[in-house]
């Protein structure tokens, strides 16, 4: 089959392209902006890319057009597809029908931690010899790739990051309803994606739909700390359900050591101790969820616990980009206030009294709408200095005043609308021993390398 992918340079659609090529399909694609690193990754796979959505691309005569959720009505190529009655399908539906059929699907859903937990789970199965396929919204360092059809053997297991964002302009259900998991982690749930969901209840409904797709022989691994997830499960659950992190000590729990290691406990029985370098309670909860899900497919908890000691995390998750003159620069994907707060708290625990300089670009759709702006000061309170960036114009510009939003932090916070001015301010403020934490869900104009270069100069 020849598929032509509209919106191929997104993380999900780029991963879909890799899987399709590996499965033996002919793959071409297009996007508004075709540039590295995704363009080079896809071209290395022999996938031809076209810049733009010109209607002449129907001349490629693919068997099917696969549509990403960046495509909307008015897109010239999409309009031509519709006018001519050509076959098309959403990316999640194509994955569900052509990749996940007859697989034991392990899906990881939640507002936060999907990428990290999916990466942990894929690694636990890999280390145990299960050779899973996977599609993850980041690059697990243990694998060096974000998607593969299977490992060295023909595995029946597939780990997928299960996003609650909508599927396509013609399918407003969440992506994850197409995946039909046998094992599903519900990591957490709070309000996000203000551009498509009116309130938390609307997202809970989508999670309820996901729960409805898990078979009776399947298993749900559910965060016991989340009232929102308790409401989801209360609406109906037809599968085995194991909780983790619950305050009452039932199900999967953990006990932290002073050195960052932690014990894993299941129904009061000690399973082992995870010794690793990751920081933050959120990562410990991610790990416990991954251990529980891996156990469902047969990985003994003791083996999973030992394997986590060799887990190398994910690119852009507290990734050290460089150290110059004793100033450490990190890159992190945090963009929701809850994720920002947990990221800063994790780094604070790691560095103690050393100064943290938080550099933030609030560019997610939710943040650009201003829905979470009142929560920003509290999420950054544990940083010593805060540098916020909001572009003057363009698709990443804010519709609200970042300086006003950060005003409760007083003199320790500043807002900048020019990247060069922000870089200069951070470099002037930085001292030996400082930790510069850069947080954004985009490229942030290459600010990490700009900071390292300027600090070196």
Task: Name 4's bridge partners.
Answer: 28, 65
Q: Which of the residue ranges 374-378, 388-392, 435-439 would you say has the lowest mean pLDDT? A: 388-392
Q: Is 168 exposed, middle or buried (0-12, 13-18, 19+ CB in 10 A)?
A: buried
Task: For residues 92 and 167, give the distance between their C-alpha atoms in angstroms, rounded to a whole number.
Answer: 7
Closest CA to 126 of 98, 102, 145, 113: 145
Query: How far separated are the first and last CA of the chain, in Å rounded?
Result: 53
Between 164 and 369, whose confidence is greater? 164
Q: For residue range 28-56, list pLDDT tens digits in order.
A: 999 998 766 677 778 888 899 999 999 99
pTM reported for the whole predicted model: 0.80
CATH code of the region 319-456: 3.90.190.20
R_g of the chain, CA atoms, integer Å: 22
Residue with tokens 């690193």: 37
Task: For residues 128 and 126, give the distance between their C-alpha atoms in angstroms, rounded to a whole number.
Answer: 5
Give me the residue spans of the domains in the chain: 2-91, 100-308, 319-456
Residue 117's pLDDT band (boundaries 50, 70, 90)?
Answer: very high
Q: Kindly tell me the number of DSSP H helices and DSSP E strands found in the chain.
A: 15, 23
Highest mean pLDDT: which range of 116-120, 336-340, 346-350, 443-447 = 116-120
Task: For residues 301 and 186, give the distance between their C-alpha atoms in angstroms, rounded to a whole number.
Answer: 19
Task: For residues 41 and 34, give the distance between their C-alpha atoms in angstroms, rounded to a whole number.
Answer: 11
pLDDT of residue 396: 61
Average pLDDT for residues 58-77, to the nearest whole number? 97
b (16+ CB within 10 A) / e for 345-376: bbbbebbeeebbbbbbbbbbebbbebbbbeeb
pLDDT of residue 394: 64
Closest CA to 332 of 143, 113, 176: 113
Instruction: Name the DSSP letter for residue 136.
Output: -
Indicate the fold that domain 100-308 takes in CATH.
3.40.1190
Task: For residues 280 and 77, give the distance between their C-alpha atoms in angstroms, rounded to a whole number.
Answer: 45
Residue with tokens 């309803």: 177
CATH 3.40.50.720 for the 2-91 domain, yes or no: yes
Report residue 388 as tokens. Answer: 């916020």
Q: What's the CA dihedral at 80, 93, 178, 313 to 10 degrees?
A: -100
Residue 167's pLDDT band (boundaries 50, 70, 90)?
Answer: very high
Is pLDDT at 345 greater than 90 in this prediction? no
pLDDT of residue 146: 87
Residue 357 near residue 423, CB atoms below 8 Å: no
Question: How many CB atoms neighbour CB 267 within 10 A?
Answer: 11
Q: Which residues contact 39 (CB under 8 A, 6 or more apart)?
A: 9, 49
Residue 65 near residue 88, CB atoms below 8 Å: yes
Closest CA to 138 of 353, 308, 312: 312
Closest CA to 321 of 446, 220, 426: 446
Q: For residue range 171-188, list pLDDT tens digits in order.
A: 999 999 999 999 999 998
Task: Name 259's bridge partners.
Answer: none
pLDDT of residue 232: 97
Q: Do domains 100-308 and 319-456 have the same CATH topology?
A: no
Q: Is 252 exposed, middle or buried (0-12, 13-18, 19+ CB in 10 A)?
A: buried
The CA–CA distances, whole Å, from 436 to 329, 354, 387, 415, 416 equal 5, 11, 10, 16, 16
Closest CA to 441 of 33, 8, 5, 10: 10
Residue 372's pLDDT band (boundaries 50, 70, 90)?
Answer: confident
pLDDT of residue 390: 82
Average pLDDT for residues 343-359, to the nearest whole number? 89
Residue with tokens 């990316």: 91
Backbone angles phi, psi at 390, to 5 degrees: -135, 115
pLDDT of residue 68: 95
How would you classify the pairing of strands 219-223 and 183-186? Answer: parallel
Q: Angle at the Cα of 228 (from 225 to 229), degrees rounded to 5?
A: 70
Q: For residue range 393-443, list pLDDT tens digits in order.
A: 666 677 788 888 899 999 999 988 888 999 999 999 999 999 999 988 777
Closest CA to 9 of 52, 72, 55, 56: 52
Between 209 and 42, whose confidence is greater? 209
Task: For residues 260 and 281, give the distance between their C-alpha atoms in angstroms, rounded to a whole number.
Answer: 10
Task: For residues 382 and 380, give the distance between their C-alpha atoms in angstroms, rounded to a whole number.
Answer: 6
């Amino acid at each position: 089959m020849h598929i032509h992918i509209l919106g191929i340079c997104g993380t999900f659609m780029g991963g879909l392209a890799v899987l399709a090529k590996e499965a033996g399909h002919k793959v071409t694609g297009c996007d508004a902006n075709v540039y590295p690193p995704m363009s080079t990754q896809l071209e290395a796979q022999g996938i031809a890319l076209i810049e733009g959505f010109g209607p002449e691309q129907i001349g490629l005569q693919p068997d099917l057009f696969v549509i990403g959720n960046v495509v909307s009505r008015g897109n010239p190529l999409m309009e031509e597809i519709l006018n001519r009655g050509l076959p098309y399908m959403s990316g999640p539906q194509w994955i569900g029908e052509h990749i996940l059929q007859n697989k034991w699907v392990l899906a990881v859903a939640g507002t936060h931690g999907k990428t990290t937990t999916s990466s942990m789970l894929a690694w636990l199965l890999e280390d145990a010899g299960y050779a899973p396929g996977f599609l993850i919204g980041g690059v697990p360092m243990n694998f060096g790739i974000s998607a593969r059809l299977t490992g060295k053997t023909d595995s029946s297991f597939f780990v997928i990051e299960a996003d609650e964002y909508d599927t396509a302009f013609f399918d407003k259900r969440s992506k994850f309803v197409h995946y039909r998991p046998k094992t599903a982690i519900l990591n957490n749930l709070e309000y996000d994606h203000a551009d498509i969901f009116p309130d938390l209840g609307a997202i809970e409904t989508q999670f309820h739909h996901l729960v409805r797709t898990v078979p009776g022989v399947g298993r749900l691994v559910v965060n016991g700390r989340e009232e929102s997830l308790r409401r989801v499960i209360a609406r109906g659950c037809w599968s085995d359900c194991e909780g983790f992190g619950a305050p009452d000590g039932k199900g999967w729990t953990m006990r932290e050591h002073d050195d960052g290691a932690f014990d894993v406990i299941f129904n009061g029985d000690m399973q082992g101790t995870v010794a690793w370098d990751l920081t933050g309670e959120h990562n410990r909860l991610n790990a416990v969820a991954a251990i529980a899900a891996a156990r469902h497919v047969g990985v003994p908890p003791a083996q999973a616990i030992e394997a986590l000691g060799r887990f190398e995390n994910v690119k852009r998750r507290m990734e050290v980009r460089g150290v110059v003159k004793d100033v450490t620069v990190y890159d992190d994907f945090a963009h929701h206030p809850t994720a920002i707060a947990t990221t800063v708290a994790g780094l604070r625990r790691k560095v103690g009294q050393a100064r943290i300089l938080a550099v933030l670009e609030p560019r997610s759709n939710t943040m650009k709408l201003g829905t979470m702006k009142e929560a920003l000061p509290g999420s950054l309170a544990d940083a010593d200095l805060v540098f916020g960036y909001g572009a003057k114009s363009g698709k990443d510009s804010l519709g609200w005043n970042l300086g006003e939003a950060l005003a409760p932090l007083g003199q320790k916070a500043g807002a900048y609308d020019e990247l060069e001015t922000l870089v200069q301010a951070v470099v002037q403020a930085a001292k030996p021993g400082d930790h510069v934490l850069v947080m954004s869900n985009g490229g942030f104009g290459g600010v990490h390398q700009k900071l390292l270069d300027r600090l070196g100069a």
